[in-house]
Amino acid sequence: MTIDSQIISLAKTWLSSQQQVVFTGAGISTESGIPDFRSKGGLWEKYQPIYYDEFMSSRDARIEYWKRKASLYPNLVAARPNKAHIAVAELHEKGLVKAVVTQNIDGLHQLAGVPNDKVIELHGNTMRVRCMSCDKLESIHDIQQRIEAGDEAPECTCGGFLKPDTISFGQAMPVEETNKAVNLCNSCDFLLVIGSTLLVQPASLLPGYAKQNGAFLAMINLSETPYDGECDIKIEDKAGEVMSALMEHIP
């Protein structure tokens, strides 16, 4: 099957489905200039992850964590939704996306126009900063200013450690969001996965729930994933190109 015929088939199935869910990972945002984790040139080639326990127990780890965050900040604030985010937002606008479940922390689905309550952020959002003691939220922009002024490991007025409102390795998943994502995958009849290696939980489980429910499973990803054999359609090409070509077949 050529990529063109895969895209036509994807459009037809999308239009004939009732409960369409889109599930995204870091790969949907690489065309916006945000590197993913596991591709060549991805963030894991540069950094080892800092686990939640290390962050909470060591000031040195917090300094290193914030140093990395501060160096990624200019790229992150400059990032704009790409053709794939825009297509997903247009599909939502047409009533063809029930919800977007994302592992991403960049907020680009919302910037593209998907309403906040339709984006299930499994790993939080890096534009917010949370106090690990009193839960107060701050804007990343204010904290970035403090870091640039020399505060290496910013703390809350209550004395708690400030951390971007994202889920670190070793940190508990948000219960409400995880339940919502599981329910969506258990009840959808069409799931499109875009740009995820599907290696970490719950991402590694969600397509399986959709399949068990009899859903059509489609995937757009440049590399292999553990679900390739179970996909009804797997398109190995860039998400932005594929999603804009798809839109030509959606009235």
Residues noted as catalytic:
123
Q: How far is the CB of 194 from ligand NAD (least distance, A)?
A: 7
Residues 219 and 231 sit within 8 Å (Cβ to Cβ)? yes
Q: How many CA atoms lie within 13 A of 191 on its CB side?
A: 29
- Exactly one of 104, 110, 144, 168 binds ligand NAD (CB under 6 A); which one? 104
Outline where 96-212 has alpha helix (H). Answer: 108-112, 140-148, 175-187, 206-212
Q: What is the C-alpha separation between 79 and 112, in angstroms, rounded?
A: 11
* Choices 24-32, 58-66, 86-94, 131-139; region in contact with ligand NAD by CB under 6 A: 24-32
**Residue 165 in contact with ligand NAD, rule: CB under 6 A:** no
Q: Which is nearer to ligand NAD, 45 or 151 (CB)?
A: 45
- Exactly one of 6, 153, 196, 210 binds ligand NAD (CB under 6 A); which one? 196
**Residue 125 in contact with ligand NAD, rule: CB under 6 A:** no
Give kind and range of the element (H or E) at residue 129: strand 124-131
Q: How far apart are the first and last CA of the chain?
A: 23
* Choices 23-31, 46-54, 91-99, 147-155; region in contact with ligand NAD by CB under 6 A: 23-31
Q: What is the C-alpha separation between 8 and 150, in angstroms, rounded?
A: 54
Position with the least CB separation from ligand NAD: 27
Q: What is the C-alpha separation between 191 and 113, in angstroms, rounded?
A: 20
Judged on CB neighbours under 10 Å (0-12, 13-18, 19+), 175 is exposed
Give the number of residues written for the chain: 251
**Residue 223 in contact with ligand NAD, rule: CB under 6 A:** yes
* Choices 62-70, 144-152, 156-164, 189-197; region in contact with ligand NAD by CB under 6 A: 189-197
- Contacts of the segment 146-149: beta carbons below 8 A, 24+ positions apart: 147/66, 147/70, 148/70
- Exactly one of 123, 130, 163, 234 binds ligand NAD (CB under 6 A); which one? 123
Whether the link from the prior residue into 81 is cis, omega within 30° of 0, is no
**Residue 110 in contact with ligand NAD, rule: CB under 6 A:** no
* Choices 45-53, 177-185, 216-224, 243-251; region in contact with ligand NAD by CB under 6 A: 216-224
- Exactly one of 6, 17, 20, 30 binds ligand NAD (CB under 6 A); which one? 30
Q: How far is the CB of 35 from ligand NAD (least distance, A)?
A: 6
**Residue 101 in contact with ligand NAD, rule: CB under 6 A:** no
Distance of CA 240 to the CA centre of its chain: 15
Q: Which is nearer to ligand NAD, 154 or 207 (CB)?
A: 207
- Tell me which residues touch ligand NAD (CB under 6 A): 25-27, 29-31, 34, 36-39, 42-43, 103-106, 123, 195-197, 199, 203, 220-223, 238-239
